[in-house]
């Protein structure tokens, strides 16, 4: 009797597995490329982003930008034939050890270009897989130099951490702050890298730096904060994941640390304001984009994107429940458009051809000059937007633009 | 260079963390004592309690949701035992352990699926998070409440085990299941009670823990669960006072390591090095009974 039950259960699971898989793949096909049943040709673009884990909230916003771009331009013409673009999304879970299998999944899906990822660590971990498969990848917001260094197939359309770190160091120093604590997450390439460049620049300016590292997944910062209070620091620079940010902000304030808290681009995510609440005063960060930018391209994007977000509740939830336009969404949009321009320039679905087209591509998007890559494959971005948190409205408020002279 | 209050503050933080580990560790150690099973899903039941609070408090007031959360968590804990452990009662111990790991992943992935994998803010429970001033220090009320409540619960639990009928039954089942059954003890009921107590304490711990850290993620139970497990092993798995003592040692030492900026990174390394050292030199822990193989 027991054996039959087991057999039945096994069959049931097998059936569930098969129907579950086919169900999900057919639904993604229908939502992304509704006309794929007709004889039109399909080109696949891979989205390599976290949808869960430490940076899930940011990955979702970047993906929203890409999906919006896809809804604006769902087709591309290659050699006189119209191709429907199909987005293939994988979740790298913000985890370096899971990045490889997620990337492999894209490779076996046969994508022509990859976009992403949010979070430099996963991009670095997956870079070689894309290079080996000769699939060009376009990083939207991964700022660590190692993402593109020595990888001819990885490109990037945002600024880099040496630049961002220097910008924030200048900004802090200009505020008259002289003693900084740099709090970074061990094992997170983004956090450690950006913290290092900040410390370097800040010390060069004449400030002093206390370095502190914490383990990934840490939730208790009370002891660290107590020791920083007794150190008497002027500013806390804590580039870290979206998940750690509210914990750091709240526990710093609880421990009596009232000085400015600064971080990099990852902190431009409204879930941080929601989760940190009133503690998020005197917080400054550098961002990629200002939604109040007056340029025509930026204005058109912000208006279109906000409308698109409002049209669907899931989109709003993925955006942190608000209609605020994050810099990473704008970069996601630009990354998609750069990929499209490269495919058109290459007139091919072949990875190597697209990669060769990217090298010489010129493209200006909503976040400024996106293509015209240097020898590493990095865009020439030379401006960061410094923002602060406006507690009354619960949004990010633009303060000033900052360049490095 | 640090004043006296700085160390008091650290000690208080350490005791709070230790108390939270203790509440979780009791769940591990009790289940182990009775079933010889390391219930790997325990940390995830703790996480689930956090999400219960978030979803229930969204529809009703905090004070109504507190008891509901406790009840739901207990139901979840007992349900896990019913579905995943009881059918394997006669199976080799390894099978039950693998089943526990499976439940752990199931709960984590279900939470990820249901919440979208993002951190959710934990509701503010005013009487826990308001600030109190002692001397020249200002701390959250829960820093004081947590250890006091933990001690009360542990004393109550020890009394329950040593002085009541069900406690006697639990001790009997822990000693020898078959003999206990021959004496007319309903083993399944006793085991269910164990899971009720363990899950209840995990829920209390969850309320205190997440009130302190104020956000819940699907993997939030993993690390505290592991630390509590180390605490239980350190104290001698199966022994309740041992688990509590182990939890306080780990909580306090970790806090002091974290306060030193140069060595902060080694706080987890300390905990797991402790696990290895204990397993090598004193496998039955501080208070654990030596296991003699029954022939």
What tens digit of pLDDT does each residue of A287-313 get?
Answer: 999 888 888 889 999 999 999 999 998
Phi/psi zone of residue B141: left (φ > 0), alpha (ψ -120 to 50 degrees), beta?
Answer: alpha
Contact A223 B13 (CB under 8 A): yes
**Chains A & B: contacts with CB separation below 8 Å:** 94
Q: What is the pLDDT of residue A270?
A: 87
Q: What is the pLDDT of residue A14?
A: 56
Contact B258 A246 (CB under 8 A): no
Residues in chain B, total: 295
Out of 1.10.760.10, 3.40.50.2300, 3.40.50.1220, 1.10.3470.10, select the CATH number for domain A40-159+306-373: 3.40.50.2300
Q: Chain A residue closest to B112 (CA)? A: A52
Instruction: Please indicate if any CB of chain B lies within 8 Å of the CB of A274.
Output: yes
Q: What percent of chain A stands above pLDDT 90?
A: 66
The answer, yes or no, to whether residue B190 has pLDDT greater than 60, is yes
Question: Hunting for tokens 């193989």 — which residue is that?
Answer: B293
Q: Of B2, B14, B114, B117, which to mutate for an interface test with A (greatest number of A Cβ within 10 Å)?
A: B117
Q: What is the pLDDT of residue A118?
A: 93
Kindly report which listed range (A370-374, A385-389, B76-80) carries the lowest average pLDDT score.
A370-374
What the block records as the tokens of A350 is: 């072949």
Per residue in A224-283, pLDDT (tens digit) is: 998 999 899 999 999 999 889 999 999 999 888 999 999 999 999 888 998 888 899 999
What the block records as the tokens of B158 is: 């020890």
Instruction: Please indicate if any CB of chain A lies within 8 Å of the CB of B192.
Output: no
Give the pLDDT band (50/70/90) at residue A19.
very low
Residues in chain A, total: 405
Tell me where in chain A the CATH 3.40.50.2300 domain(s) lie: 40-159+306-373, 161-287+385-402
Q: Chain A residue closest to B269 (CA)? A: A215
Which B positions 116-135 lie with beta carbon below 8 A of chain A? 116-119, 121
Q: What is the pLDDT of residue A63?
A: 95
The answer, yes or no, to whether residue A190 has pLDDT greater than 80, is yes
Contact A226 B9 (CB under 8 A): yes
Q: Of B138, B217, B218, B258, which to mutate for an interface test with A (greatest number of A Cβ within 10 Å)?
A: B258
The answer, yes or no, to whether residue B265 has pLDDT greater than 90, is no
Contacts of A357 (CB under 8 A, 6+ apart): A342, A343, A345, A346
Q: Using a CB-CB distance cutoff of 8 angstroms, which residues of chain B are in contact with residue A319?
A: none
Contact B219 A217 (CB under 8 A): yes
The answer, yes or no, to whether residue B286 has pLDDT greater than 50, is yes
Contact A317 B1 (CB under 8 A): no
The answer, yes or no, to whether residue A29 has pLDDT greater than 50, is no
Instruction: Please indicate if any CB of chain B lies within 8 Å of the CB of A317.
Output: yes
Mean pLDDT of B146-159: 93
Report the alpha-carbon distance of residue B10 to residue B215 in Å, rounded: 22
- Residue scoring higher pLDDT (B135 or A294): A294
The reply to whether ipTM tops 0.85 is: no
**How many angstroms away from the CA of B263 is the closest CA of chain A?**
8
Mean pLDDT of A356-380: 88
Mean pLDDT of A75-87: 92
The answer, yes or no, to whether residue B295 has pLDDT greater than 50, is no
Q: What is chain B's mean pLDDT, rounded?
A: 90
Report the alpha-carbon distance of residue B208 to residue B211 in Å, rounded: 5
The answer, yes or no, to whether residue A181 has pLDDT greater than 60, is yes
Q: What is the DSSP string of B78-130?
A: HHHIIIIIGGGTTS-HHHHHHHHHHHHHHHHHHHHHHHTT--EEPPP-HHHHS
Report the alpha-carbon distance of residue A29 to residue A375 in Å, rounded: 37
The answer, yes or no, to whether residue B10 has pLDDT greater than 80, is yes
**How many angstroms away from the CA of B262 is the closest CA of chain A?**
7
Mean pLDDT of B166-182: 91
- Arch. (CATH architecture) of A161-287+385-402: 3-Layer(aba) Sandwich (3.40)
Q: What is the pLDDT of residue B292?
A: 52
Q: Of A51, A214, A220, which to mutate for an interface test with B (greatest number of B Cβ within 10 Å)?
A: A220
Q: What is the pLDDT of residue B89?
A: 87
**How many angstroms away from the CA of A353 is the closest CA of chain B?**
37
Question: Hunting for tokens 């003693």 — which residue is that?
Answer: A179
Report the alpha-carbon distance of residue A325 to residue A344 in Å, rounded: 28
The answer, yes or no, to whether residue A31 has pLDDT greater than 60, is no
Q: What is the pLDDT of residue B165?
A: 93
- Residue scoring higher pLDDT (B148 or A293): B148
């Amino acid at each position: 009797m027991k054996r039959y039950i087991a057999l039945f259960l096994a069959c049931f699971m097998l059936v569930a597995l098969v129907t579950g898989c086919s169900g999900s793949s057919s639904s993604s096909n229908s939502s992304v490329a509704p006309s794929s049943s007709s004889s039109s040709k399909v080109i696949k673009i891979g989205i390599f982003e976290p949808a869960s884990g430490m940076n899930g909230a940011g990955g979702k916003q970047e993906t929203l930008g890409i999906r919006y771009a896809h809804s604006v331009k769902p087709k591309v013409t290659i050699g006189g034939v119209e191709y429907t673009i199909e987005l293939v999304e994988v979740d790298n879970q913000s985890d370096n050890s899971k990045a490889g299998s997620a990337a492999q999944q894209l490779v076996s899906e046969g994508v022509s270009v990859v976009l992403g990822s949010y979070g430099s660590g996963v991009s670095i971990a997956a870079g070689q897989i894309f290079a080996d498969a000769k699939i060009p990848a376009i990083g939207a917001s991964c700022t660590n130099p190692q993402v593109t260094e020595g990888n001819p197939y990885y490109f990037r359309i945002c600024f880099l951490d040496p630049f961002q770190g220097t910008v924030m160091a200048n900004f802090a120093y200009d505020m008259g702050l002289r003693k900084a604590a740099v709090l970074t997450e061990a094992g997170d390439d983004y956090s450690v890298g950006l913290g290092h460049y900040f410390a370097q620049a800040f010390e060069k300016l004449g400030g002093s730096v206390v370095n502190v590292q914490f383990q990934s997944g840490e939730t208790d910062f009370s002891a660290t904060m107590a020791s920083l209070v007794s150190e008497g620091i002027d500013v806390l620079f804590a580039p870290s994941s979206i998940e750690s940010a509210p914990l750091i902000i709240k526990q710093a304030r609880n421990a009596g640390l009232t000085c400015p808290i600064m971080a990099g681009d990852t902190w431009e995510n409204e879930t941080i304001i929601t989760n940190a609440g009133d503690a998020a005063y005197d917080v400054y960060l550098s961002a990629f984009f200002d939604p109040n930018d007056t340029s025509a391209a930026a204005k058109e994007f912000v208006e279109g994107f906000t409308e698109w977000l409002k049209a669907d509740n899931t989109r709003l939830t993925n955006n942190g429940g608000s209609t605020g336009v994050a810099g990473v969404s704008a970069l996601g949009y630009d990354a998609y458009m750069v990929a499209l321009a490269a495919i058109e320039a290459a007139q091919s679905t072949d990875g190597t051809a697209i990669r060769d087209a990217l090298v010489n591509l010129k493209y200006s998007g909503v976040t400024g000059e996106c293509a015209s890559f240097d020898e590493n494959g990095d865009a020439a971005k030379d401006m960061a937007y410094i923002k602060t948190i406006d507690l009354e409205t619960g949004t990010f408020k633009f303060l000033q633009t900052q360049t490095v002279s | 260079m640090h004043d006296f209050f700085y160390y008091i503050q650290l000690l208080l933080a350490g005791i709070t963390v230790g108390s939270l580990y203790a509440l979780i560790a009791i769940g591990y150690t009790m289940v182990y004592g009775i079933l010889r099973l390391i219930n790997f899903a325990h940390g995830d039941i703790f996480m689930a309690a956090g999400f219960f609070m978030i979803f229930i408090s969204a529809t009703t007031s905090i004070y109504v949701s507190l008891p509901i959360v406790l009840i739901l968590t207990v139901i979840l804990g007992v349900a896990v035992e019913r579905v995943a452990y009881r059918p394997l009662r006669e199976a080799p111990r390894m099978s039950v352990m693998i089943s526990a790991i499976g439940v752990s992943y199931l709960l984590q992935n279900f939470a990820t699926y249901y919440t979208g994998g993002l951190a959710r803010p934990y509701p503010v429970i005013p009487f826990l998070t308001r600030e109190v001033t002692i001397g020249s220090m200002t701390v959250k009320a829960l820093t004081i409440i947590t250890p006091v409540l933990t001690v009360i619960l542990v004393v109550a639990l020890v009394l329950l085990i040593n002085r009541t009928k069900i406690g006697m039954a639990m001790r009997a089942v822990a000693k020898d299941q078959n003999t206990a059954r021959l004496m007319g003890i309903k083993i399944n009921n006793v085991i269910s009670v164990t899971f009720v107590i363990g899950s209840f304490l995990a829920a209390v711990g969850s309320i205190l823990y997440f009130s302190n850290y104020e956000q819940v993620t699907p993997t939030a139970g993993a690390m505290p669960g592991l630390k509590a497990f180390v605490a239980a092993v350190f104290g001698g798995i199966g022994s309740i006072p041992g688990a509590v003592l182990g939890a306080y040692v780990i909580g306090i030492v970790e806090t002091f390591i974290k306060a030193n900026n140069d060595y902060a990174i080694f706080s987890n390394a300390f905990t797991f090095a402790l696990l290895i050292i204990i397993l090598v030199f004193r496998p039955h822990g501080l208070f654990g009974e030596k296991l003699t193989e029954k022939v």
